[in-house]
Amino acid sequence: MIAAVAVVALAVPATTAGAVPAPHAAPPAPELVQVGTYAYLTAPDYDPLAPISTVLQGPSTIGLGTFAGLDGEMVVVGGVPYRVGLDGVPRPVAPSTPTPFAEAVAFRPSTSLPVAPGTTCAAIDGLVASAAGTAAEGVVAVRVRGTFTSLVTRSVPAQATPYPPLADVVATQTTFDLGTRRAVLVGFRTGPAAAGIGAPGLHLHGLTADRAAGGHVLSCVAGSDVQLSIEPVASVRVVMPTAQ
């Protein structure tokens, strides 16, 4: 399959609002590198387009995605891609593993702030939007880490052609109630200016600190030490197949 690359520029303001900036001067806003799009998955089409290595950008890479046939949840932390299958256990995978959808960034947060104990994952979406300011119209890379008093994740089973709609696959998900765990959650908030590129709103995948559990984050409640870090994305480089 021949790959084509499209670059989408996103407006990023010089400063963000409503949060305390990180101690040192932030480097230029990063490029999000992505295989496929959320619109591709919802077509539905779960055929692989490129290897995971396409999106990896070194040891600071964070990201998320899935695998050929929608076979599990991908979590990228510290530049290492993991697959969380129906047993809920994260396992590192080779960068050569093919994917129909993955998005990742070399994460160097420009803004960090504490998350109040008791804050839910649903409320973190608003915190990201407020901290990012006008950049929330585009894509914002997000990392949330610390102790969660309630953390629920999921994975989905592999699919065969003809592929069912994504909503039907999610209806067959396996959920994991992880209780109180230290974890890192990574992902992206996709605003209206980037509709169709990623899942709308805040999309997080996560790993527990001991790497014993993880998956797509369904819900969470922040404990006493949770920190939110964000980085608005300046542009998106999307790898898709060319017309045959």
Is 215 contained in some domain? yes
Is 118 contained in some domain? yes
Read off the pLDDT of residues 93-116 as tens digits, 9 standing for 90 and up: 999 999 999 999 999 999 999 999
Give yes or no for a contact between 37 and 196, defined as CB atoms under 8 angstroms apart: yes
Residue 182 has pLDDT above 90, yes or no: yes
Is 68 contained in some domain? yes
**How far is the CA of 68 from the CAs of 100, 123, 176, in angstroms?**
6, 32, 22
pLDDT average, residue stretch 160-187 = 97
Which CATH number does the domain housing residue 33 bear? Answer: 3.30.1330.80
Give yes or no for a contact between 72 and 155, defined as CB atoms under 8 angstroms apart: yes
Q: How many domains is the chain partitioned into structurally?
A: 1
Is 167 contained in some domain? yes
Is 198 contained in some domain? yes
Is 18 contained in some domain? no
pLDDT at 29: 64
pLDDT at 243: 47
Residue 33 has pLDDT above 50, yes or no: yes
Is 16 contained in some domain? no
pLDDT at 241: 65
Mean pLDDT across the chain, nearest whole number?
A: 90
pLDDT confidence bin for 4, thresholds 50/70/90: low
> 1-5, 13-17, 109-113: which has the minimum mean pLDDT?
13-17
Residue 34 has pLDDT above 50, yes or no: yes
Q: Which domain holds residue 153?
A: 28-241
Is 74 contained in some domain? yes
pLDDT confidence bin for 244, thresholds 50/70/90: very low
